[in-house]
């Protein structure tokens, strides 16, 4: 690992030692953050799988009612009934913080408006289809929130792993190599100074 290009001084050694300590602390923090992200993603992935199965089952139920409506009224009859359906459902997206990151909160608010078609012109299957769709929209909102959070956590995990690897395999080894070099060079310089000082003393003693 290449060391930092620094002149051999005690000040540079102290500076690099301090930066090395900060890098080690940052690595510990990032490793803890990585583990938290992994744990949260595993938990949310299981939740997303449950939500997805529930949504698929609810959609199958809604499509089953719609199919019954087609069989009873035909395509044109269902199309006429659909013209009487106007929704005032609402989706609200807010944010909450997790590990300093903004995470979406998706809220579904069902409207109070009922379909504007006569009971004589439709069949019970379409009423059931309308109610089933209304129910599944809330479940889709829950699934969308979890999957959006998973996507953001995955992106943050990638960034965290890149930073962890950079510290672990590049920055910290470079600091250690530089510290070893500076310490060795300063020790060698000190030995040379002591040797020179002894020679000077020996010469002075010989002149007496």
pLDDT at 58 over 70: yes
**Domain for residue 191, yes or no?**
yes
Helix ranges, the chain (H): 10-82, 124-166, 172-207
pLDDT above 70 covers a percentage of the chain that reads 88
Q: Mean per-residue pLDDT for 34-63?
A: 93
**Domain for residue 206, yes or no?**
no
DSSP annotation of 170 reads I
Cα–Cα distance measured from residue 196 to residue 208, given in angstroms and rounded to the nearest whole number:
19
**Domain for residue 1, yes or no?**
no
**Domain for residue 107, yes or no?**
yes
Cα–Cα distance measured from residue 190 to residue 115, given in angstroms and rounded to the nearest whole number:
91
Q: Mean per-residue pLDDT for 147-153?
A: 93
Range 191-203 burial, b when 16+ CB lie within 10 A, else e? eeeeeeeeeeeee
**Domain for residue 208, yes or no?**
no
- The overall average pLDDT reported for the chain is 85
User: Which stretch of 94-103, 123-132, 178-187 has the lowest confidence by average pLDDT?
Assistant: 123-132
CATH number of the domain encompassing residue 78: 1.10.287.3240
How many domains does the chain divide into? Answer: 1
Nearest CA among 8, 147, 17, 125 for reference residue 74: 125
Nearest CA among 51, 54, 53 for reference residue 150: 51
**Domain for residue 2, yes or no?**
no
Range of the domain at 28: 10-200
pLDDT of residue 120: 53
Position 113 confidence tier, pLDDT thresholds 50, 70, 90: low
pLDDT of residue 121: 57
**Domain for residue 130, yes or no?**
yes
DSSP-derived 3-state class of residue 86: coil
pLDDT of residue 33: 93
**Domain for residue 5, yes or no?**
no
User: Which stretch of 26-35, 156-165, 197-206 has the lowest confidence by average pLDDT?
Assistant: 197-206
**Bridge partners of residue 107, in order along the sequence:** 92
């Amino acid at each position: 690992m290449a060391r930092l290009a620094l002149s051999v001084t005690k000040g540079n050694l102290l500076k690099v030692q301090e930066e090395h300590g900060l890098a080690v602390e940052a690595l510990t923090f990032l490793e803890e953050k990585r583990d938290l992200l992994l744990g949260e993603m595993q938990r949310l992935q299981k939740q997303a799988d449950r939500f997805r199965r529930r949504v698929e089952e609810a959609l199958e139920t809604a499509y089953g009612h719609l199919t019954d409506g087609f069989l009873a009224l035909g395509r044109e009859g269902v199309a006429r009934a659909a013209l009487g359906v106007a929704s005032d459902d609402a989706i609200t997206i807010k944010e909450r913080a997790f590990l300093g990151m903004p995470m979406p909160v998706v809220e579904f608010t069902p409207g109070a408006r009922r379909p504007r078609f006569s009971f004589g012109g439709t069949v019970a299957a379409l009423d059931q289809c309308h109610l089933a769709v209304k129910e599944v929209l809330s479940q889709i909102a829950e699934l969308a929130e979890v999957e959006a959070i998973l996507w953001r956590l995955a992106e943050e995990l990638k960034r965290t792993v890149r930073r962890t690897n950079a510290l672990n395999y590049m920055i910290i080894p470079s600091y250690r190599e530089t510290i070893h070099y500076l310490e060795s060079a300063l020790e060698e310089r000190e030995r040379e100074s002591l040797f020179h000082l002894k020679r000077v003393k020996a010469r002075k003693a010989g002149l007496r």
